[in-house]
Amino acid sequence: MRHDGPMTSTPAPSGLHHWDAIHEATRRLVRTVDALPDEAYAQPSALPGWTRAHVVAHLALNGEGLAEVMRGLVAGEDVPMYASQERRDGDISVLATAPVGALRDRFLAGCTLFQEAWERMTDEAWGGAFRRTPTTDAWPASELPRMRHGEVEIHHADLDAGYGAADWPEDYLDATFNRIVEDRQSGPSMLLRTPDGDVLVGTGQGPVVTGSRADLTWWLLGRGGGRGLTADPDLPTLTPWR
């Protein structure tokens, strides 16, 4: 990834997920991946069922996929992120077994491809829509920055290499906490007790789960097993987060 600072040649969506924030998040991620010793890639990540190599492979392929989406938006073509969910999963599994040097290079190339595709985006392209796979519903192109920002920050923490949810910028942590709470409204009801006040999930009737917003967010994302939290009487069982 190039380290020449934020791009200003093309308009970017305003708000939390603007280019400066994504660029800085990516710089932090690149430093962590660069510092990982080769033997660490085969070790488990914080994401159940994935090694660190799987996380890095996913980040590489996600950068490539979103770059192709943006290329399609600029060209007026319907280019999905992935050919299919099965192909996406298979490609991650294959790339995760590549030699560490090749995997690291592919990851860095994916970050660069994303940046270069962003630079080519136009007002008209940002007003378009894209699909995750050819058979899924279309999403507005304005969602692309949020998607990549989330991939970078959440999976950086998934690497379990010294960077966690507590290290997220405060505005990103707050926005992610609020979004995950909204996503969980159809799940088990509970009351989240944070240092900033109580937050209802569902009806709010049920267990009282106490902790920092960072630890609560990490648990609501399906990570950490409730580390750093207390619950009365017990932590509820969460369904997988999508």
What does the pLDDT average to over 116-121?
A: 96
pLDDT at 11 over 90: no
Q: How confident is the model at residue 6 (pLDDT cuts 50, 70, 90)?
A: very low
pLDDT over 70, % of the chain = 94
CA 176 to chain centre: 10
The pTM of the whole model exceeds 0.75? yes
Average pLDDT over residues 180-206: 95
- Given pLDDT bands bounded at 50, 70 and 90, which one contains residue 199? very high
Pairing of strands 190-194, 197-201: antiparallel
Give pLDDT tens digits for 15-25. 777 899 999 99
> Which residues neighbour 100 within 8 Å (Cβ) at sequence distance 6 or greater?
38, 41, 53
Whether the per-residue pLDDT at 242 is higher than 50: the answer is yes
Does the pLDDT value for residue 45 go beyond 80?
A: yes
The packing angle between helices 213-220 and 170-183, to 10°, is 40
Whether 5 has a pLDDT exceeding 60, the answer reads no
pLDDT of 1 higher than 80: no
Q: How far apart are CA 232 and CA 178, in angstroms?
A: 22
What is the CA 109 to chain-centroid distance, rounded? Answer: 18
- Cβ partners under 8 Å of residue 123, min gap 6: 11
Q: List, in sequence order, the alpha helices (H) in 36-143.
A: 52-75, 85-95, 100-119, 123-126
What pLDDT sits at residue 158?
98
Domains of the chain by start residue, with CATH: 19-163 (1.20.120.450), 178-232 (no CATH)
- For the chain, give the mean pLDDT: 93
Structure confidence by residue, pLDDT tens digits, 57-110: 999 999 999 999 999 999 999 999 999 999 999 999 999 999 999 999 999 999
pLDDT band at 145 (very low <50, low <70, confident <90, very high): very high
Region 149-158: mean pLDDT is 98
